[in-house]
Amino acid sequence: MADKKENDRVSATVKVKDLRCDYHIEPCDSTERPRRFLEAFASILKHTNYGFVLDHFSKNSAHCGRCAVACPVYEVTGRIEDIPCRRSDLLLQVYRRHFTPSGKLRARLLGDPGLDDRKIDEMAEAFYRCTACRRCNLDCPMGLDHGLITHLGRYILSEIGVVPKALVVATREQLEGKTGNTSGIPKAAMLDTLEFLEEELEEATGKKIKFPVDVEGADFAFFVAVSDYLLEPDTLMGQAALFHATGDKWTIGSENFDGINYGLFYSDWILERVVRREIAEARRLKAKSVLIGECGHASRSAKGFITTYSDGDPLPVSNIMQYTARVIKEGRVKLDKDKIKQRVTYHDPCNLARSGWIVDEPRFILKSFVKDFVEMTPHGKANYCCGGGGGTVSLDEIHRFRMQVAGRKKAEQLKATGADIVVAPCANCKKQLGEIIQEYELDMEVKGLHDLILEAIILD
Amino acid sequence: MDNLLELARGPLFRLAFALMILGTMRQVILTIIGYLEARKKAGDKNINTGGLAIETIKWLVPFRYVKKRGLYSLTSFLFHIGLVLVPIFFAGHIRLWAGAIGITWPALPGPISDWLALLTVVSGIGLIAGRLWNSRSRALSRFQDWFFTPMIVLVFITGYLAAHPQSSPIGYREVMIVHVLGADLIMLLLPFSKLIHCILLPFSRYVNDMGWRFVSGSGEAVLADLGKEGKPV
């Protein structure tokens, strides 16, 4: 409540348009940032395929500005700086100026001094105002993917220490900490939680439903956003109940049970290290495939990169909703159609839906047992980002920006559905949507898809 | 005056045309080589080539995107129809091409060429007005964004007048000189400006797709370059 008042007070004095995206960074070397930025940029160009992409974008960006209609941030602020192709141009300018012969020549003729601290600061904010939702890609007549430029911009910035502290702290714990996961949950605590959930499940269903841990040779090595172990017990229990019903073999790995991968948001080498740990755990378990929980970015970073970092013989990757849709189709699980009486809507996480990867499955699942299902407008591939995409949901310091700017379109959409429940599969979306519901005082609750499955599943 | 016209549609035309073809070929070849090199480096080589082709083709159908900012999108689409068709399929141009490269192809009927040209002129003026009118569009615009649309409109107006000398307020020769010199300039600049999207556009989806195919070990190599190997996160 205090937060709400604070927001009202501030929004009366600061216009939404002027809300900044100022995130905390860790103390770092702030000398010679332009030189260090260019060094990192040069090295990244040398070892990756980004140069090819930047060349193509530089040549083809027609500055038609059509992407503006797709950007939820620009739609709210109307700031020129929030137009996707303008934002991408910040980095493309640096590329052209410092890494192409024509740019170097031009700079010499015009006396352009090149990259400076001001431009770095501008990029530092711009690339985190963008939630990397890639909605603009659908509306760019040239078909350019500005989300990729945001990713690269953040990657280079992270190499000079400009990266949100919250993301680094979580990643540090995951890669170098004692617990090996972003939430810092010790293995023993995770095992205790599972035991507790098994008791809960028995109480609720009367069945002895197991959370298998470290079972070798299972069909699925299961990874969720680790925060689910703390915050989303119903989702986990729904998934366990489902596997109980189908009898398929799945397992959680005790050495690594975190599917979160912030590398997707800001760094290729973090991405690679996290994915490699995931591959190692799945191989240790001798699993036949990798199964990711509902979470959007965890799914995309596994699906998109396990092949890349497997060094041969990659394990197949799927998302739990694909599995659930399949077993319902095969008639292997029964759901009570009278259980869910509320009006339900579904939020498409960008990392699942934007590419068209997982759009139909959740709808098929929900419609199979939910009577009153409504869609948001637009939905599916063209959905609006929750406003916390690209890792920004973890940054509490930009709460007001997320609520008033990045999440405003989503709030309007949610309100228009009149739904009682919004199903959001992604852990990040869930947090953001929960906060939006509070901020805009919507009469609605956020649930995972398997929370509803848990309510409706009929176990013989 | 006649000499200038002869120069413009003789040697200058041939030079501009040759440079346009060579420059465009260079860009296409560079893109293909770049793509193949990137593919070689990429860790994941399972590329859905057909799916990307379908995506690309879908995008060329306008109905999909006129839903949003309909007027702007439609204007832009109409602008491009004449822009692509008239230079290639107008009967007068085909005679010119025949003289220059020795082959011919079927021409558009005269009235259709006329209408397409006028459509490009009107929509082109609309696009310029839009860019001028909207403060955000103004802020996005670079020199070349201001340069090409008026240039194209000018070439199309003079082209129309040259094809209809009876309705032209100025002399045929003057009109032709502006038309041919303008066209020469556009052809000359095409490979070196945003106009290259006319030929590189179909590659965009493939480039995006390749962009997200990372290179195994590249991040660690970057860390080594920057002397940050083994340093904590």
Of B72, B136, B207, the CB nearest to A80: B136
Residue B198 Cα distances to A5, A143, A263, B24, B84, angstroms = 53, 13, 36, 10, 9
Q: From the CA of A238, how many Å to the nearest CA of chain B?
A: 33
Tell me the range of A9-18, A29-38, A61-70, B87-96 where mean pLDDT is highest.
A29-38
User: What is the domain range of residue B145?
Assistant: 2-212
- Residue of A55, A56, A354 to mutate, testing the B interface (most B Cβ within 10 Å of its Cβ): A56
Is A159 within 8 Å of B222 when comparing Cβ atoms? yes
pLDDT for A391-431, tens place per residue? 999 999 999 999 999 999 999 999 999 999 999 999 999 99
Assess contact for A39 and A115: CB atoms under 8 A.
no
Is A308 within 8 Å of B213 when comparing Cβ atoms? yes
Classify residue B93: in a domain, yes or no. yes
Residue that has been written with the tokens 């170098």 in this structure: A176
Classify residue B224: in a domain, yes or no. no
Lowest-pLDDT choice from A100-104, B96-100, B144-148, B196-200: B96-100
Assess contact for A269 and B223: CB atoms under 8 A.
yes
Q: Is the pLDDT of residue A119 over 80?
A: yes
Burial of B106 from C-beta contacts in 10 A (0-12 / 13-18 / 19+): exposed
- Residues pairing with A291 in the sheet: A222, A318
Per-residue model confidence (pLDDT) at position B67: 72
pLDDT for B18-28, tens place per residue? 999 999 999 99
Report the alpha-carbon distance of residue A221 to residue A252 in Å, rounded. 6
Set of chain A residues whose Cβ sits within 8 Å of the Cβ of B73? 66
Neighbouring C-alpha atoms within 13 Å toward the C-beta of B209: 21
Share above pLDDT 90 across residues of chain A, in percent, rounded to a whole number: 92
Of A44, A145, A307, the CB nearest to B43: A307
Assess contact for A309 and B218: CB atoms under 8 A.
no
B215 touches chain A (CB under 8 A): yes
CA A110-A114-A118 angle, to 5 degrees, is 125
**Mean pLDDT, rounded, for A286-301:** 97
Per-residue model confidence (pLDDT) at position A302: 98
Report the alpha-carbon distance of residue B73 to residue A193 in Å, rounded. 55
B113 touches chain A (CB under 8 A): no
Q: How many contacts does A have with B, using Cβ atoms within 8 A?
A: 167
pLDDT for B10-56, tens place per residue? 899 989 999 999 999 999 999 999 999 999 999 999 999 999 999 88
Report the alpha-carbon distance of residue A47 to residue B24 in Å, rounded. 28
Q: Given pLDDT bands bounded at 50, 70 and 90, which one contains residue A141?
A: confident
CATH number, position B70: 1.20.950.20
Q: Is the pLDDT of residue A443 over 90?
A: yes
- Residue of B72, B127, B214 to mutate, testing the A interface (most A Cβ within 10 Å of its Cβ): B214
pTM: 0.94
Q: List, in order, residues 6 or more apart from A311 with CB less than 8 Å away.
A: B216
Q: B181: which 2 tokens?
A: 């010199």
Q: Given pLDDT bands bounded at 50, 70 and 90, which one contains residue B130?
A: very high
Classify residue B123: in a domain, yes or no. yes
Q: List, in order, residues 6 or more apart from A139 with CB less than 8 Å away.
A: A66, A67, A69, A70, B65, B68
Set of chain A residues whose Cβ sits within 8 Å of the Cβ of B221? 43, 46-47
pLDDT for A17-53, tens place per residue? 899 999 999 999 999 999 999 999 999 999 999 999 9
Q: Given pLDDT bands bounded at 50, 70 and 90, which one contains residue A172?
A: very high
Q: Is the pLDDT of residue A6 over 60?
A: no
Residue that has been written with the tokens 């490979």 in this structure: B191
Report the alpha-carbon distance of residue B206 to residue A49 in Å, rounded. 13
Cis ω before A141 (30° cut-off from 0): no
Classify residue B98: in a domain, yes or no. yes
Per-residue model confidence (pLDDT) at position A433: 98
Share above pLDDT 90 across residues of chain B, in percent, rounded to a whole number: 74
Q: A329: which 2 tokens?
A: 């189709």
Set of chain B residues whose Cβ sits within 8 Å of the Cβ of A144? 204, 208
Is B225 within 8 Å of A148 when comparing Cβ atoms? no
The DSSP secondary-structure symbol of A69 reads G
Q: A291: which 2 tokens?
A: 């199964």
Classify residue B39: in a domain, yes or no. yes
Residue A198 three-state SS: helix
B147 touches chain A (CB under 8 A): no
Q: From the CA of A78, how many Å to the nearest CA of chain B?
A: 9
Assess contact for A166 and A410: CB atoms under 8 A.
no
Of B55, B139, B197, the CB nearest to A62: B197
B160 touches chain A (CB under 8 A): no
**Partner A, chain B 185-204, Cβ-Cβ below 8 Å:** 194, 196-197, 200-201, 203-204
- Dihedral of the alpha carbons of B22, B27, B33, B39, in degrees to the nearest 10: -160
Classify residue B227: in a domain, yes or no. no
Phi-psi region of A208 (alpha: psi -120 to 50; beta: other; left: phi over 0): beta
**Mean pLDDT, rounded, for A113-139:** 96
Q: Given pLDDT bands bounded at 50, 70 and 90, which one contains residue B64?
A: low
Q: List, in order, residues 6 or more apart from A272 with CB less than 8 Å away.
A: A263, A305, A308, A309, B214, B216, B217, B218, B219, B220
Classify residue B196: in a domain, yes or no. yes
Phi first, then psi, for residue A36 (nearest 5°) are -70, -35
What is the three-state SS of chain B? CHHHHHHHHCHHHHHHHHHHHHHHHHHHHHHHHHHHHHHHHCCCCCCCHHHHHHHHHHHHCHHHCCCCCHHHHHHHHHHHHHHHHHHHHCHHHHHHHHHHHCCCCCCCCHHHHHHHHHHHHHHHHHHHHHHHHCHHHHHHCCHHHHHHHHHHHHHHHHHHHHHCHHHCCCCHHHHHHHHHHHHHHHHHHHHHCHHHHHHHHHHHHHHHHHHCCCCCCHHHHHHHHCCCCCCCC
Per-residue model confidence (pLDDT) at position A10: 46
Per-residue model confidence (pLDDT) at position A143: 87
| Overall domain count for chain B | 1
**Mean pLDDT, rounded, for B96-105:** 82
Q: Given pLDDT bands bounded at 50, 70 and 90, which one contains residue A139?
A: confident
Report the alpha-carbon distance of residue B137 to residue A352 in Å, rounded. 32
Per-residue model confidence (pLDDT) at position A171: 97
Classify residue B228: in a domain, yes or no. no
Of A132, A149, A143, which is closest to residue A64 (Cα–Cα)? Answer: A143
B138 touches chain A (CB under 8 A): no
B97 touches chain A (CB under 8 A): no
Is A137 within 8 Å of B218 when comparing Cβ atoms? no
CA A357-A231-A399 angle, to 5 degrees, is 80
B76 touches chain A (CB under 8 A): yes
Set of chain A residues whose Cβ sits within 8 Å of the Cβ of B69? 66, 69
Average pLDDT for chain A: 95
Per-residue model confidence (pLDDT) at position A66: 87
Phi first, then psi, for residue A66 (nearest 5°) are -70, -25
> The dihedral of CA B178, B184, B189, B190: what is its sign?
positive
